[in-house]
Amino acid sequence: MNQPKFVICINNLDYPVSLEKRKIYETISDPEAEEIGHIRVVDESGEDYLYPITCFIDAHLPKEVQAAVLKAA
């Protein structure tokens, strides 16, 4: 199983209903999306959608924090 990866939203201008600035989101690996500058993110709806990678920065969370975030979801 892949390690979860988390990002932080830094720009929700075009997606104010789907994304919250400064919120941590889990990503789902999607190499094809990354090739076109997008990232697959589980958003406020609880579903995964593609968003421009420029809306996020890597969260670089320690494993203990990742586990707590996953448990809280």
Element (H, E) at 67: helix 63-72
- Give residue 2's pLDDT band: very low, low, confident or very high (50, 70, 90): low
What pLDDT score does 6 carry?
95
Task: Report the domain count for the chain.
Answer: 1
Paired strand residues for 50: 40
Angle CA 34–64–73, to nearest 5: 65
Cα distances (angstroms) measured from residue 60 to each of 6, 18, 31, 46: 7, 22, 19, 22
Question: Is pLDDT of 1 > 60?
Answer: no
> Domain of 56?
5-72
What pLDDT score does 46 carry?
87
Tell me the percentage of the chain whose pLDDT exceeds 90.
70
> Which amino acid type is present at position 65?
V
Paired strand residues for 9: 56
Radius of gyration of the chain (CA): 12
Check which CATH number belongs to the domain holding 54 and give it.
2.30.30
